[in-house]
Amino acid sequence: MSAAAQRVRIGGACGFWGDSAMATPQLLQVPGLQYLVYDYLAETTMAILAKARAKDPALGYATDFVQAVMTPHLQAIHERGIKVIANAGGLNPEGCRDALLQVAEQQGIALRVAVLTGDDLMPQMPALHAQGLRTTTDTPLPERPLSANAYVGARGIAQALGAGADVVITGRCVDSAVVLGALVHEFGWSWQDWDRLSAGTLAGHLIECGAQATGGLFTDWQDVPDWANIGYPVIDVAPDGSLVLSKPEGTGGLIHPGAVAEQILYEVGDPANYLMPDVCCDWRHVQVERTGMDTVQVSGARGLPAPTHYKANATWQDGYQLQLMLAIRGIDAPLKAERTAQALLTRSRTLMATQGFGDDSETCVELLGGESHYGPHAQAHTAREVVLRIAVRHAQAKALAVLQRECASSGTSMAPGTRSSFSGRADIQPVIKLCSFMVLKSQVHLQMQLGDDVQDASDLTVSPVANAIAVSSTAPAMPETTIASDEPLHDCRLIDLAWARSGDKGDDENIGVIARHARAWDWLRTQLQAHQVQAYFSHLVQGPVLRYEVPGLQALNFVLHQALGGGGVCSLRSDPLGKSFAQMLLDMPLRVPASVLTAPTSGDPP
């Protein structure tokens, strides 16, 4: 342990399974780097791993971590003494460890690799089902799950580092835990020091999505240089949990307070009550301050006692689905595409009925290029080129084979200008659905294994104690701006006043809206309400919309319930993760006073 550390330098080298292979060699050039952290897992990824493990019990982990990351760079990582923490273990942490140790042996490296296990709840599922435990949407647990995992915290990671691990491989820990575990180990934080645990969680959350913290997906994308060589995030964390974010020297990307604020709000739900395994986070008064051309400081996180339960997810197979795409060009392409879709669905239903199959359980028709996702806000009705996307779901794969085959016929019997296939017949895929539920921490038995050493790593919730040292989180003073009631109104869009980013939590959608300046914040917090956002997305959202104020970032966080058609692999939509919602909302038309459109200058009166 290095409890006297003055700062800890961590590089965020992976935001998801499939992130760029250039991140690791880029971060290895950063002087003084102490940790490389890798986040591979998402709800969709767990479903993919479940399918892989069903085919081959030796799989079920993120193979890219071993093959594309560690194999070519293990020697450099080992020589520099950099610790590695990754949740690449997925459903099979031991398999991931064994594959990595084989690589280390081939390269002549004596590597100490720890694995954390126990998040896999499959052995407990019969008992949990018998207890009558229900999902967060009040439905029974699946009777034949493919996988079931608790979202565990950072305790086992800190424990493994304390035992001398060079590499820590976890199963389904929360994304931010790969950073929090390192910080607790280095600084010796107490597991009841809620403010610091919240700050460490924020540090992990900031870099868990890789380049999203350094200009990736930023609203003002035109200002972000050199996407091809975008810099991956580096954080220098102080003992109080405050941090400075930067990127490797000479790389592309952009360190910008707006982009950082977008990432802070990314998928957090209620910023005053962001529930994590180790702490309940309150980030309402977090502040982002530019400290240099390529640095910002982030501080002000507060924490509350940790919850008594873990969130858990289970996956199961529920029928099959088919997704088709056809290119249609020419005059009135959207109209031709709509008619083609209805004709193909009608024809396939007729043929299915003659073969004794029932109707599809769900269908989705989208016109990519025709702005069908925008609903009543679409502006591309006269498009001359669209991609018709038809997605259908059925309990039987053989029933979907009818539409799979009939799709080709549209190339000669329907709209002129149709290409009925991009790459041959589309594949029929099993539908892997996902549900969430809460499980008592006392029912999740975690272990840390390093060589022959096996230790209990369970989190038994204890009573909270006061923080050892107070962490300042004073909310920034909000200048009150006066807007004259008789000011003329000007037409604009939300993007003129704000930055925004969106992401998913299952079937719910999160949109963080950050004011560009104080006048915009003053207007937005009084004028942009939940009911307006709900009305704007009424064609997509079935549940309520909630609004949360985040004064430290001069931001609003909107949570749209039942917005994603089931979300993730459960959704037939082309944007099942809701990444486009912020972009659609930024196009919302507004009428605002001229003074709201103008950023205050230092000479302006308060």
pLDDT number for residue 462:
55
CA–chain centroid gap for 198, Å, is 18
- In this prediction, residue 485 carries a pLDDT of 64
- pLDDT for 52 beyond 90: no
Mean pLDDT of 12-17: 96
pLDDT one-digit tens code per residue, 232-264 = 999 999 999 999 999 999 999 999 999 999 999
pLDDT for the residue numbered 362: 96
Determine the Cα–Cα distance for residues 577 and 583; give it in Å rounded to an integer.
Answer: 13
pLDDT for the residue numbered 53: 85
Task: Encode pLDDT of 490-517 as tens digits.
Answer: 999 999 999 999 999 889 999 999 999 9
Tell me the pLDDT tens digit for each residue of 522-534.
Answer: 999 999 999 999 9
pLDDT in tens, 566-593: 988 889 999 999 999 999 999 999 999 9
pTM score: 0.93
pLDDT greater than 70 at residue 49: yes
Query: Residue 605: its pLDDT value, please?
Result: 40
Cβ 551 vs Cβ 476: under 8 Å: yes
Nearest to 49 by CA among 61, 64, 66: 61
Residue 326 pLDDT greater than 70, yes or no: yes
Mean pLDDT of 467-471: 40
Domains present along the chain, CATH in parentheses: 8-307+444-456 (no CATH), 322-434 (3.30.70), 489-597 (no CATH)
Instruction: Give Cβ neighbours of residue 575 (< 8 Å, ≥ 6 apart).
Output: 373, 564, 581
Q: What is the mean pLDDT of residues 80-92?
A: 97
Inform me whether the pLDDT recorded for 115 exceeds 80: yes
Q: What is the pLDDT of residues 543-567, one digit of tens each?
A: 999 999 999 999 999 999 999 999 8
Residue 598: which pLDDT band, with cuts at 50, 70 and 90? confident
- Asked if the model's pLDDT at residue 69 lies above 80, the reply is yes
Query: Predicted confidence band at 472 (pLDDT cuts at 50, 70, 90)?
Result: very low
Residue 602 confidence (pLDDT): 54
Read off the pLDDT of residues 266-323 as tens digits, 9 standing for 90 and up.
999 999 999 999 999 999 999 999 999 999 999 999 999 999 999 999 989 999 999 9
Instruction: Kindly tell me if the per-residue pLDDT of 44 is higher than 80.
Output: no
pLDDT at 483: 56
Task: Please name the residue that has the structure tokens 């669209």.
Answer: 386
What does the pLDDT read at residue 478? 46
Tokens representing residue 137 in the block: 């949407």
Q: Given a cut of 90, is residue 475 above it in pLDDT?
A: no
Inform me whether the pLDDT recorded for 163 exceeds 80: yes
Give the Cβ contact number of residue 472 at 10 Å.
Answer: 11
Per-residue DSSP letter, 229:
G
Helices (H), 495-542: 518-527, 530-536
What's the confidence (pLDDT) of residue 461? 62
pLDDT of residue 474: 42
How many Å from the N-terminal Cα to the C-terminal Cα in the chain?
49
- Of the candidates 230, 173, 174, 177, the one whose C-alpha atom is nearest the C-alpha of residue 203 is 177
Q: Lowest mean pLDDT of 66-75, 517-526, 596-605, name the range.
A: 596-605
Query: What per-residue confidence (pLDDT) applies to 580?
Result: 97
Q: What pLDDT, on a 0 to 100 scale, did the predictor assign at position 592?
A: 96
Distance CA 187, CA 4 (A): 6
Q: Give residue 2's pLDDT.
A: 55
Which pLDDT tens digit goes with each residue over 455-466? 999 987 654 444
DSSP secondary structure string for all residues of 380-444: -TT-SEEEEEEEEEES-HHHHHHHHHHGGGHHHHS-TTEE--SSSSPPEEEEEEEEEEEEEGGG-
Among residues 148, 171, 162, which one has the least CA distance to residue 3?
162
Q: State the amino acid at position 103 in one-letter form.
A: V
Question: Is-contact 24 80, C-beta < 8 A?
Answer: no
* pLDDT, tens digit (0-9, with 9 covering 90-100), for 367-393: 999 999 999 999 988 999 999 999 999
421 confidence band (pLDDT: 50, 70, 90):
confident
Calculate what percentage of the chain has a pLDDT beyond 70: 94
Phi, psi for residue 540 in degrees, rounded to 5? -120, -30
